Structure 1
Amino acid sequence: MTETLVVLLITVAMFIHGKVRPDLVALCALVSLRLLGILTPEEATSGFTSSVVVMMVGLFVIGGAILQTGLAKAVSQRIIKLAGGNDTALFILVVLVTAVVGAFISNTGTVALMMPIVVSMAAQSGIQASRLLMPLAFASSLGGMLTLIGTPPNLVIQESLIEHGYKPLEFFSFTPVGIICIVIGIIVMFPLSKLFLYKKKNAGSETDGHRKTLEELAEEYNLSNGVRRYIITDSSDIKEKTVAELNLRNTYGLSILEIRNESNLRGGLIRNVTQSIATPEKILAKGDIIYLMGSKERMDEFAKKARIKKMDGKGMDFYDLGITEIVLVPRSRLIGTKLAGSGFREKYNINVLGIKRNKDYIMDNLADKRLLAGDVLLVQGKWSNIEKLDHEETDWVVLGHPEKHAMQATLDYKAPLAAVIMLAMVAAMVFDFIPIPPSTAVITAGLLTVLTGCFRNINAAYNTVNWESIILIAAMMPMSIALEKTGTSALISHSLVEALGSMGPTVLLCGIYFTTSLLTMFISNTATAVLMAPIAMTAAIEIGASPYPFLFAVTLGASMCFASPFSTPPNALVMHAGGYRFSDYIKVGLPLQIIIGIAMTFILPLLFEF
Structure 2
Amino acid sequence: MMVGLFVVGGAIFQTGLAKMLSSRILKLAGNSELRLFILIMAVTSAIGAFVSNTGTVALMLPIVVSLAASNPHMNASRLLMPLAFASSMGGMMTLIGTPPNLVIQNTLTDAGYPSLSFFSFLPVGLICVVVGTIVLLPLSKIFLSKRGAESRTGKHSGKSLKELVHEYGLSDNLFRLRIPAKSVLKGKTIVDLDIRRRYGLNILEVRRGEASQHRFLKTITQKLAEPNTILQAEDILYVKGDFEQVNAWAAAHRLEILDGRASEDIRRDRSLDFYDIGIAEIVLMPASRIVNHTIKEIGFRDKFNVNVLGIRRKKEYLLQDLGDLRIHSGDVLLIQGTWSDISRLSKEDEDWVVLGEPLDEAAKVTLDYKAPLAAAIMILMVAMMVFDFIPVAPVTAVMIAGILMVLTGCFRNVEAAYKTINWESIVLIAAMLPMSLALEKTGGAEFISNSLVNGLGSYGPLALMAGIYFTTSLMTMFISNTATAVLLAPIALQSALQIGVSPVPFLFAVTLGASMCFASPFSTPPNALVMPAGQYTFMDYVKVGLPLQIIMGIVMIFVLPLLFPF
How does the TM-score come out when normalised to structure 2?
0.96
The answer for the alignment partner of 2:370 in structure 1 is: 414
- Equivalent residue letter for 2:415: N
1:242-296 CA-partner distances (Å, limit 9, x unpaired): 2122222222121112101121536322101100111222221222110111111
- Equivalent residue letter for 1:207: K
- 1:265 is paired with a residue of what secondary structure? coil
- 1:377 is paired with a residue of what secondary structure? strand
Distance in structure 2 (CA, Å) of the matches to 1:103 and 1:553: 18
The answer for the alignment partner of 2:523 in structure 1 is: 567
1:323-378 CA-partner distances (Å, limit 9, x unpaired): 11111121222211111122321222111111111111110011111112221111
- 1:567 is paired with a residue of what secondary structure? coil
User: Does 2:507 correspond to 1:551?
Assistant: yes
Distance in structure 2 (CA, Å) of the matches to 1:321 and 1:518: 54
Aligned counterparts, 1:412-561, within 5 A: 412-561=368-517
1:500-549 CA-partner distances (Å, limit 9, x unpaired): 11111111111111110111111111111010100100111111111111
Mean alpha-carbon deviation: is it higher for 225-234 or for 85-94? 225-234
1:447-478 CA-partner distances (Å, limit 9, x unpaired): 00100000001100000000100111111111
Aligned counterparts, 1:123-272, within 5 A: 123-126=69-72, 127-198=74-145, 199=147, 206-208=154-156, 211-263=158-210, 265=212, 267-272=214-219
What is the Cα deviation at residue 392 of structure 1? 2.2
Mean alpha-carbon deviation: is it higher for 266-275 or for 596-605? 266-275
- Equivalent residue letter for 1:539: S
Distance in structure 2 (CA, Å) of the matches to 1:570 and 1:211: 34
What is the Cα deviation at residue 204 of structure 1? 9.9
Mean alpha-carbon deviation: is it higher for 571-580 or for 421-430? 571-580
- Equivalent residue letter for 2:424: E
- Equivalent residue letter for 1:421: I
The answer for the alignment partner of 2:42 in structure 1 is: 96
Distance in structure 2 (CA, Å) of the matches to 1:430 and 1:362: 58
Distance in structure 2 (CA, Å) of the matches to 1:370 and 1:432: 70
The answer for the alignment partner of 2:337 in structure 1 is: 381
- 2:208 is paired with a residue of what secondary structure? strand
Q: Is the contact made by 2:75 and 2:148 (CA closer than 8 Å) also made in structure 1?
A: no
1:177-206 CA-partner distances (Å, limit 9, x unpaired): 111111111111111111111326679962
Partner of residue 280 from structure 1, selected from 227, 237, 247:
227
The answer for the alignment partner of 2:14 in structure 1 is: 68
Distance in structure 1 (CA, Å) of the matches to 2:166 and 2:150: 28
User: Does 2:248 correspond to 1:301?
Assistant: yes
- 1:89 is paired with a residue of what secondary structure? helix
Distance in structure 2 (CA, Å) of the matches to 1:606 and 1:476: 36
How does the TM-score come out when normalised to structure 1?
0.89
Distance in structure 2 (CA, Å) of the matches to 1:421 and 1:132: 26
- Equivalent residue letter for 1:63: G
- Equivalent residue letter for 2:376: V
Distance in structure 2 (CA, Å) of the matches to 1:226 and 1:315: 14
- 1:367 is paired with a residue of what secondary structure? coil
Distance in structure 2 (CA, Å) of the matches to 1:468 and 1:558: 24
Distance in structure 1 (CA, Å) of the matches to 2:351 and 2:26: 45
Distance in structure 2 (CA, Å) of the matches to 1:342 and 1:124: 41
Distance in structure 2 (CA, Å) of the matches to 1:302 and 1:212: 34
The answer for the alignment partner of 1:391 in structure 2 is: 347
Partner of residue 405 from structure 1, selected from 361, 371, 378:
361
- 1:368 is paired with a residue of what secondary structure? coil
Distance in structure 2 (CA, Å) of the matches to 1:343 and 1:136: 53
RMSD: 1.5
Distance in structure 2 (CA, Å) of the matches to 1:204 and 1:150: 34
The answer for the alignment partner of 1:40 in structure 2 is: none
Q: Is the contact made by 2:93 and 2:121 (CA closer than 8 Å) also made in structure 1?
A: yes
Mean alpha-carbon deviation: is it higher for 213-222 or for 306-315? 306-315
1:223-245 CA-partner distances (Å, limit 9, x unpaired): 12322211112321222222122
Distance in structure 2 (CA, Å) of the matches to 1:392 and 1:188: 56
Distance in structure 2 (CA, Å) of the matches to 1:212 and 1:220: 10
Distance in structure 2 (CA, Å) of the matches to 1:530 and 1:200: 38
In the alignment, structure 2 segments of 5+ residues that lack a partner are 260-266
The answer for the alignment partner of 1:24 in structure 2 is: none
The answer for the alignment partner of 2:262 in structure 1 is: none
What is the Cα deviation at residue 211 of structure 1? 4.0
The answer for the alignment partner of 1:290 in structure 2 is: 237
Distance in structure 2 (CA, Å) of the matches to 1:213 and 1:77: 20
User: Does 2:53 correspond to 1:107?
Assistant: yes
Partner of residue 122 from structure 1, selected from 51, 68, 74:
68
- Equivalent residue letter for 2:408: T
Distance in structure 2 (CA, Å) of the matches to 1:588 and 1:403: 37
The answer for the alignment partner of 1:49 in structure 2 is: none
What is the Cα deviation at residue 402 of structure 1? 1.0
Shift in CA distance, 363/590, structure 1 to aligned 2, threshold 3 Å:
same
Partner of residue 4 from structure 2, selected from 58, 61, 73:
58
